[in-house]
């Protein structure tokens, strides 16, 4: 199974979700190296993108040269959404995604993200502005609704389809749920039944079994994995193998795992600079060590080391020796 967006093919239909502070360019490149149909950039604020405000440098380096990358934009004003879409399309973006699902208060308080579920008329002005500004496929990511009293994702999906949206991803929770409880994959079926464009299921998909269950419950054309990829950049390829018969990934263990983590760490240092990269990398190193069963004291030594050379010297013992123990 594949998903076709104009002349852009998503194959396999297993996608990496945008996660703020996590799915940066180094991580997306790593996930792509194992195999992913599409990787989505961290959410980029449209006005800040156009005005190039400080603090968006890392997000502006979106990896648009990679064919399987989608750039996700957020905002509340049609002008800035259209202008930012033009900027990223001019810089090579193959797919543009509109964020109408982020539940964070700092986003919804600015009437962006999932707050747009409370005003579909305004949401449509943003969709129409982006679709009208570019020739590349435009997609939409949202939630089931604002809360249990406003489950309007099917209506939004129909209107978005009519406005030119070519694919919609639904996180199986409302905004007011944030990430609590369980994603309701079955509720996504109402969106699938409402439109003819591809629908992707998202939320609590962490392995092949949950991906298969989510797809069956929702009727979705594909699945999107977010937190399940933390510390497991190969998980999308594993899911694709189980669901679609693609080649099974070689999951790194022992020395191969050490080499992969060191390469990821050094890529982050290069991307962010040594000082910021050392801080940003800690969460990733923590997830890798969680998976390897690293002893608590050694884990602490790695995460508290300030000198990257010290971290590099500790990683072989933290990952390879503990895994073999």
Over residues 152-163, mean pLDDT: 97
Neighbouring C-beta atoms of residue 252, cutoff 10 Å: 16
65 and 128 share one domain? yes
183 and 310 share one domain? no
58, pLDDT greater than 50: no
Residue 321 gets which letter from DSSP? I
Distances (CA, A) of 261 to 86, 257, 266, 293, 311: 36, 6, 9, 15, 11
Q: What is the mean pLDDT of the chain?
A: 90
CA distance 100 to 18: 12
Final residue before a domain boundary, out of 191, 213, 244 = 244
CA distance 243 to 236: 10
157 and 271 share one domain? no
CA distance 221 to 195: 12
55 and 137 share one domain? yes
Q: Are 202 and 226 in contact (CB under 8 A)?
A: yes
Residues of the chain above pLDDT 70, percent: 93
131, pLDDT greater than 90: yes
Given this model, what pLDDT does residue 266 score? 98
14 and 90 share one domain? yes
CA distance 39 to 28: 6
Minimal CA–CA distance to 123: which of 140, 144, 105?
140
CB contact set of 90 (below 8 Å; sequence gap of 6+): none
22 and 143 share one domain? yes
Over residues 147-164, mean pLDDT: 93
Final residue before a domain boundary, out of 244, 266, 293 = 244
User: Which range marks the domain in which residue 304 is found?
Assistant: 255-324
Is 226 annotated as ligand-binding? yes
Q: What angle do CA 76, 184, 165 make, to 5 degrees?
A: 40
Residue 217, domain member (yes or no) = yes
Q: Are 159 and 186 in contact (CB under 8 A)?
A: no
Q: Pick the most confident of 57-71, 83-97, 292-306.
A: 292-306
Final residue before a domain boundary, out of 221, 244, 267 = 244
Residue 76, domain member (yes or no) = yes
68, pLDDT greater than 80: yes
211 and 310 share one domain? no
CA distance 90 to 207: 36
The pLDDT confidence band at residue 83, using thresholds 50, 70 and 90, is: very high
17 and 139 share one domain? yes
Q: What share of the chain is helix, strand, coil (3-state, %, to 5)?
A: 50, 15, 35
The pLDDT confidence band at residue 57, using thresholds 50, 70 and 90, is: very low
Provide the annotated active-site residues: 102
Minimal CA–CA distance to 12: which of 36, 30, 32, 31?
36
Given this model, what pLDDT does residue 324 score? 46
CA distance 229 to 216: 21
Is 171 annotated as ligand-binding? yes
Q: How many domains would you assign to the chain? A: 2
Coil, strand, or helix at residue 194? helix
Q: Domain with 179 in it: what CATH number?
A: 3.20.20.70
69 and 185 share one domain? yes
Residues of the chain above pLDDT 90, percent: 73
146 and 283 share one domain? no
Residue 170, domain member (yes or no) = yes
Lowest-pLDDT choice from 39-53, 81-95, 194-208: 39-53
Is 279 annotated as ligand-binding? no
Given this model, what pLDDT does residue 61 score? 64
Over residues 14-42, mean pLDDT: 94
Is 161 annotated as ligand-binding? no
Residue 250, domain member (yes or no) = no
22 and 150 share one domain? yes
CA distance 110 to 133: 23
47, pLDDT greater than 50: yes
The pLDDT confidence band at residue 103, using thresholds 50, 70 and 90, is: confident
CA distance 202 to 183: 8
Residue 98 CB-density burial (10 A; 0-12 exposed, 13-18 middle, 19+ buried) = buried
36 and 165 share one domain? yes
Is 72 annotated as ligand-binding? yes
């Amino acid at each position: 199974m594949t998903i076709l967006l104009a002349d852009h093919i998503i194959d396999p239909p297993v996608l990496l979700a945008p996660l703020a502070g996590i799915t940066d360019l180094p991580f997306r490149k790593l996930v792509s190296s194992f195999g992913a149909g599409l990787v989505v950039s961290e959410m980029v604020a449209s006005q800040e993108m156009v005005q190039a405000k400080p603090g968006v440098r890392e997000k502006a380096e979106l990896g648009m040269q990679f064919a399987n990358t989608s750039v996700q934009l957020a905002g509340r004003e049609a002008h800035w959404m259209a202008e930012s879409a033009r900027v990223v399309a001019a810089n090579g973006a193959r797919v543009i995604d509109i964020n109408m699902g982020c539940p964070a208060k700092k986003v919804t308080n600015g009437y962006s993200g999932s707050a747009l579920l409370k005003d579909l008329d305004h949401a449509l002005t943003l969709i129409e502005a982006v679709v009208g500004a570019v020739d590349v496929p435009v997609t939409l990511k949202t939630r089931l609704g604002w809360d249990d009293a406003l489950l309007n994702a099917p209506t939004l999906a129909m209107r978005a389809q009519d406005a030119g949206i070519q694919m919609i991803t639904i996180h199986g929770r409302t905004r007011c749920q944030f990430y609590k409880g369980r994603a309701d994959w079955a509720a996504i079926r109402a969106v699938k039944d409402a439109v003819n464009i591809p629908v992707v299921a998202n939320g609590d998909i962490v392995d092949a079994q949950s991906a298969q269950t989510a797809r069956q419950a929702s009727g979705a054309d594909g699945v999107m994995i977010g937190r399940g990829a933390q510390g497991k950049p190969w998980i999308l390829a594993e899911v694709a193998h189980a669901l679609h018969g693609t080649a099974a990934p070689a999951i790194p263990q022992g020395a191969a795992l050490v080499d992969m983590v060191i390469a990821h760490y050094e890529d982050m240092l290069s991307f962010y600079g040594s000082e910021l990269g050392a801080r940003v990398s800690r969460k990733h190193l923590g997830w890798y060590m969680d998976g390897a069963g690293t002893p608590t004291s050694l884990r602490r030594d790695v995460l508290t080391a300030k000198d990257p050379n010290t971290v590099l010297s500790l990683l072989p013992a933290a990952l390879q020796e503990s895994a073999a123990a």
